[in-house]
Structure 1
Amino acid sequence: MQNQSFLAMEDPLDALCHHFSLTKALLPPNARIPPTFDMTLSAPPSRQPTHLFAILPPEDNARVPTLMIPVSAGLYGQSFAADLLPAGTALPVPHIQNGNGAQPPCVTLPVVPVSAPHSLSIPLVLLFGLGLETDRNLLAQRMLPAQVIGEFPHFPAMVGVMAKLPEQQFEWYLGYTHGMWKNVLALAPKDAGLVEFVQMAHKVIVEAGRLRGRR
């Protein structure tokens, strides 16, 4: 059965939490990483998370909050080669606390700190690596401008359009897509199509950068 897509209307972290029926949560910058963390349930869970990845911000940017990203240990193990979860990863069993009139229901999950090359794009890697989102058009829209995507699959044309972007826009896509590629290398998703697509987008931007440098 195909998963419902949330990415078309939500940012990647919101969409990832939505797939696990959870409300997005962040830890404040420089906050201590707790051993467990309560995530608010937005609906009866149809997919049970087992852990939270606490995505640590880069050391040179202490003002960035820590992303709390739900994962299912079984699904993660099937989908990624990088072993980020501890042995005996099915335990402790997440504990659901029923809400009352003042407090919504929540689930208490064990927390696994993760140092990622690029924290901002980790939710997108996990969304597609776990198979929660499957529409590659939505992936492309997060990684490349629409006018560049419109030239696919003609690689030189994609590079040419990318090279003509305004500086600020180009730098944003360069940072995001380069970070996404580094995350793919670090997490090693088993979906070869995902790896190839991210690599292609990264190559487009790298080649566009070379063209810009020659002008």
Structure 2
Amino acid sequence: MKRAIILIFSFSFASCAHQTAKNELLSGEYLGISADQKYTRLSLSESNFEKDQIEIGKEPNFLKIKGTWQAVNDSVIALNEQDRAKSFYKLKDNQLVSLNSQLKENEPSLSIRLFKVDHSIEAEGNIESLAKEGILFFANGNEPFWALKISSNNIAEFNKPDLDTPIKFSNIRMIKGKDYSIVYLSEDSQDKLIIYKSTCVNDMSGKVSPYFVELYFKGTHYRGCGDSLKKEFL
């Protein structure tokens, strides 16, 4: 009898240890853009998760979901979302790939792949030099390359390779929110920068920034990452 109890205890302990090790391996921050253009940030802690979703190219929006998660097997996890059905992801090629309720990969139009964020790449040489120039916020993106600087004298400067000189905006105004802020660059509010409080990774350099941004300028939509160089800015 004692032997049986010891064996059961040993098995339970080993199973628990395996689950803990699995959770620690998967824990971290994941980012991705779905086929229907939803920017997703998923943060997994030991047993809880937090998910942000932003619909790219639409009016400012920010959906935050919290809940718990656990491993279904060695490669599949389940997210138990508050007031929602479970969602499933499979670890594949160092990414989390969305699954349907039958644990099969979603069709391309519904699929999302989230890659794990490498937080060791968080510094970029020009950030310190920009701070010395009095820049409060710096945003940039790729394909096409673009950059926007916001300075302490209430001026923003937009630049990209095909411009002879940067375009400057004076008397910009900002509305601060809990999950995102909007910087209006023009009087008619058509040109604007939306700053979301959601982690972003530069898809060329791998640099990690604390903000995902969308820029609307002269009818063109840009997206990229942003860094606040002064805490009081946001």
Q: Same fold (TM over 0.5)?
A: no
TM-score (norm 2): 0.25
Q: Comparing both structures, which one devotes a greater share of its residues to helix?
A: 1
Max radius of gyration: which structure? 2
Q: Comparing both structures, which one devotes a greater share of its residues to strand?
A: 2
TM-score (norm 1): 0.26
